[in-house]
Amino acid sequence: MPSPLRIAVLSAWHVHAEEYGHAAINHPETELVAVWDDDTERGRALAERLGVEFTPDLSALLARDDLDGVTVTTATSDHDAVLAATIAAGKHIFTEKLLSPTVQGCDDLISSAASAGLALTVSLPRLSHGYTLAVREILASGRLGRITYARVRLAHDGSTRDWLPARFYDPVAALGGAFSDLAAHPVYLTQLILGAEIVTVRSTYTDMTGRGVEDNAVVTVSTTDGAIGVIETGFVTPASPFTIEVLGTAGSLLYGFENHADGSAVLRLGTTNGWEEIDIPADGPAPFDMWVEAIRSGEPTAENLHRARALTALVVAANNDAHT
């Protein structure tokens, strides 16, 4: 077996920083070696929890010959600068979404990483989940006919119960509120269902807890084929099941509207012949695993980057519509 890839966590800003640190600890082909953060207290605390060294000097860390790659969980507004510096240093990158605050930034980073022969992968975890694999199979089979409508909802109570860090409400660092963060998942799932070529984007954002950014949001989109997509999210809902609804001219698909006795969500397909439950396969490789494989194989995670770019484009369009 080749030597483990040596990985560092760049910043504890994002709530998933520790999760990705543990991913590097637990993966058989990676080893976590350090944490960097521009906030020394925050960075030291994460390094202590993960059992690795803390370094306040990003340039020195990226210059290390024994460092192979990094996980990036900085403020979203810092992605362009931090990822560009990492690419310039010749290190592989696994990053939290959004890849960049702008589509041009996505293009620049993807191009630079490819030119340098570096693996760049964005964390879009729900694309690997079993229910998404089942949805993809049904869409490919044509059993739904021509898709007319999709609705994906994902919400939690991070604002009403005040468990999200205050920095998640910084309109500059976080690029906004709930839609730039939590809605990323229903956005890329909606794009998986409808396709990434969206022609209209209409946003409704509200601020129910007075934090200055949206904590309750609905965005509707349409495609050239006339299909409508509804993307719902928020930080103000204590009990909101994650749901997917896909309607077509020949059938309908519902996920998350009912549960099995063990609490797992049910996926149902409805046609003129009635409703049937669809078996949900095991999850596919997680994004972190895909990244490690990309480093080892030299093959880029092309679909991941295509969807990460499309995700950024729709989030930017939704924010622009809400603010103008």
The answer for residues whose C-beta is within 8 angstroms of residue 324's C-beta and 6 or more apart is: none
Q: In sequence order, what DSSP letters do the residues of 218-231 get, joined into one string?
A: EEEEEETTS-EEEE
Q: What's the pLDDT score for residue 12?
A: 98
pLDDT digits (tens, 9 = 90+) for 243-279: 999 999 999 999 999 999 999 999 999 999 999 999 9
3-class DSSP state for residue 55? Answer: strand
Write down the pLDDT at residue 194. Answer: 97
**205-229 pLDDT, tens digit each:** 999 999 999 999 999 999 999 999 9
Same domain, 144 and 262: yes
What's the confidence (pLDDT) of residue 2? 82
Domain of 58, CATH number, reads 3.40.50.720
Q: What pLDDT was estimated at residue 1?
A: 60
Evaluate if residue 47 carries a pLDDT over 70.
yes
- Rounded Cα distance between 139 and 251, Å, is 10
Considering the entire predicted model, what is its pTM?
0.96
Burial bucket for residue 273 (CB in 10 Å: 0-12, 13-18, 19+) = exposed
Does 12 share its domain with 146?
no
Q: Looking at residues 24-30, what average pLDDT do you find?
A: 98
Residue 145 has pLDDT above 80, yes or no: yes
pLDDT of residue 293: 98
Which residue shows structure tokens 């997917």?
A: 244
Same domain? For 134 and 269 the reply is: yes
**Average pLDDT along the chain:** 97
Residue 308 lies in a domain: no
CB of 74 within 8 A of CB of 21? no
pLDDT at 171 over 80: yes
The reported pLDDT for the residue numbered 138 is 98
CA-based nearest residue to 317, from 242, 182, 219, 208: 219
Whether residues 86 and 142 share a domain: the answer is: no
Are 84 and 202 found together in one domain? no
Query: Do 110 and 149 lie in a common domain?
Result: no
Mean pLDDT value of segment 4-20:
98
Pair (74, 104) in one structural domain: yes
Phi and psi at residue 274, in whole multiples of 5°?
Answer: 110, -165
pLDDT higher than 70, residue 32? yes
pLDDT above 80: residue 83? yes
- Mean pLDDT, rounded, for 68-83: 98
| Averaged pLDDT, 84-95 | 98
Taking residues 65-76, report their average pLDDT.
97
Q: What is the mean pLDDT of the segment spanning 307-323?
A: 97
The structural domain count of the chain equals 2
In angstroms, the CA 205 to CA 151 distance is 17
pLDDT at 281: 98
- Domain extent, residue 158, equals 130-282
3-state SS, residue 237? coil
Distance CA 83, CA 150 (A): 34
pLDDT, residue 197, reads 85
Same domain, 263 and 290: no
Query: Percentage of the chain with pLDDT > 90?
Result: 98
What gap in Å lies between CA 13 and CA 165, rounded to an integer?
Answer: 9
CATH of the domain at 217: 3.30.360.10
